[in-house]
């Protein structure tokens, strides 16, 4: 019983992390029709940032670190979007290729800066004690992480559905040309959304640090999971990213625990199922 509960919680926390990663990916794809292959590298940058910051300043708060890393990664993403991606608006293939090139550059730069060994990120001290609940023991940090993802989902939902900015973004997602025609600055919105997505990924990288720790190849491990989440949930849909993240979180965690060698094959199954019966994804409205 303890096994199932702990693995269930692990699934939830992985799902939460995947949501922080894939929500930004999905938003960027929805607005800009851009498969941002740098997204895994943004996540990894956040983790490495946390590893450095929290080890050099003992007792640095993880929330402060997450915000700091989020801002920093958002700035890097914004620069990249303005300087490179905005020149390639009419060339979707070129955009994908430069995001791929950028992911190689970032992951190699991380290897230079931080070396090839994995660097653990400390769990915050006030969250180290396990939580006891109905006689079961839970790692507190993972519970908090799930809470974070849910909070992020709620904030994003209100941002998109209840604010003027969100209304403009939704208009851009639905019909970018018409949105431009009525005076919505879609090009600036793209930069904002790209920064936002990169920032969430960077902050997610910090929060995932205590579980995953920073190691070279973290980006290559996370990116396919994010891809599968958005293919499953539907590209451009926040709800799809949320549901998809938790489905993949469960499948991946239980797959790894029960059939360690086949976990990757098990990941195939939901993807094939969705592609076969609902190519636009569970909650997708736009075809890729």
Partner 1 sequence: MKWFAIAVIAASLLLPPFLAGDFYINLASQILIAAIFALSLNLLVGFGGMTSLGHASYLGVAAYISALLTSRYGLGHGSAAVVSIAGTVAMAAIFGVIALRATGLGFLMITLALSQVLWGLAYRMSNVTNGDNGIAGLTRPAPFGISINSPASFYWFVLIVAAFAFLMMAIFVSSAFGSSLKGVRDQPRRMAALGFNPWLIRWITFIYAGFWGGVSGLLYVYYHKYIHPTSLSTTSSAEALLGVIAGGSGTMGGPVVGAAVVLLIKNYASAYVERWNMLLGLVFLFIVLVMPTGIVPGVSRLTAAIRRAPP
Interface residue list for partner 1 (CB under 8 A): 29, 33-35, 37, 84, 87-88, 91-94, 96-98, 100-105, 107-109, 111-112, 220-221, 223-224, 227-228, 230-231, 235, 260-261, 263-265, 267-268, 271-272, 275-276, 279, 287-288
* Residue 1 and residue 130 in contact, taking contact as beta carbons nearer than 8 Å: no
Judged by beta carbon, residue 133 or residue 264, the one nearer partner 1 is 264
Judged by beta carbon, residue 239 or residue 288, the one nearer partner 1 is 288
Least CB distance from residue 35 to partner 1, whole Å?
Answer: 5
Local structure of residue 123 (DSSP, 8 states): P
Judged by beta carbon, residue 53 or residue 266, the one nearer partner 1 is 266
Helix ranges (DSSP H) in the chain: 2-32, 39-56, 62-83, 92-114, 140-162, 164-174, 176-181, 186-212, 218-233, 238-258, 263-277
Least CB distance from residue 265 to partner 1, whole Å?
Answer: 7
* Residue 229 and residue 149 in contact, taking contact as beta carbons nearer than 8 Å: no
Local structure of residue 117 (DSSP, 8 states): S
Least CB distance from residue 108 to partner 1, whole Å?
Answer: 4
Judged by beta carbon, residue 63 or residue 264, the one nearer partner 1 is 264
Longest Cα separation, the chain: 60
Least CB distance from residue 62 to partner 1, whole Å?
Answer: 29
What are 192's two structure tokens? 């904002």
Measured between alpha carbons, how far is 62 from 124 in angstroms, rounded to an integer?
7
Judged by beta carbon, residue 32 or residue 207, the one nearer partner 1 is 32
Residues 6+ apart with CB under 8 A from 262: 255
Least CB distance from residue 61 to partner 1, whole Å?
Answer: 33
């Amino acid at each position: 019983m303890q096994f199932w509960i702990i693995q269930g919680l692990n699934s939830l926390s992985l799902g939460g992390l995947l949501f922080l990663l894939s929500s930004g990916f999905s938003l960027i794809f929805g607005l800009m029709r851009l498969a941002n292959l740098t997204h895994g590298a943004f996540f990894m940058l956040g983790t490495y940032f946390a590893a450095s910051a929290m080890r050099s300043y003992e007792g640095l708060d993880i929330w402060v670190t997450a915000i700091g890393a989020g801002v920093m990664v958002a700035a890097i993403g914004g620069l990249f979007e303005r300087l490179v991606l905005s020149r390639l608006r009419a060339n979707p293939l070129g955009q994908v290729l430069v995001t791929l090139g950028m992911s190689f550059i970032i992951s190699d730069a991380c290897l230079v800066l931080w070396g090839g060994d994995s660097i653990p990120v400390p769990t915050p001290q006030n969250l180290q004690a396990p939580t006891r609940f109905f006689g079961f023991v839970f790692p507190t940090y993972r519970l908090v992480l799930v809470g974070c993802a849910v909070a992020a989902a709620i904030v994003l939902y209100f941002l998109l559905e209840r604010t003027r900015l969100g209304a403009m973004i939704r208009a851009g997602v639905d019909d970018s040309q018409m949105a431009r025609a009525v005076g919505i600055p879609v090009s600036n919105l793209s930069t904002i959304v790209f920064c936002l997505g990169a920032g969430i990924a960077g902050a997610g990288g910090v929060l995932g640090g205590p579980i995953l720790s920073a190691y070279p190849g973290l980006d290559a491990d996370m990116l396919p999971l994010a891809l599968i989440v958005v293919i499953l949930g539907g590209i451009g849909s926040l709800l799809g990213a949320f549901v998809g993240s938790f489905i993949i979180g469960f499948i991946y965690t239980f797959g790894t625990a029960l059939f360690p060698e086949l976990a990757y094959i098990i990941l195939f199954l939901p993807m094939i199922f969705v592609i076969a019966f609902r190519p636009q994804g569970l909650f997708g409205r736009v075809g890729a």
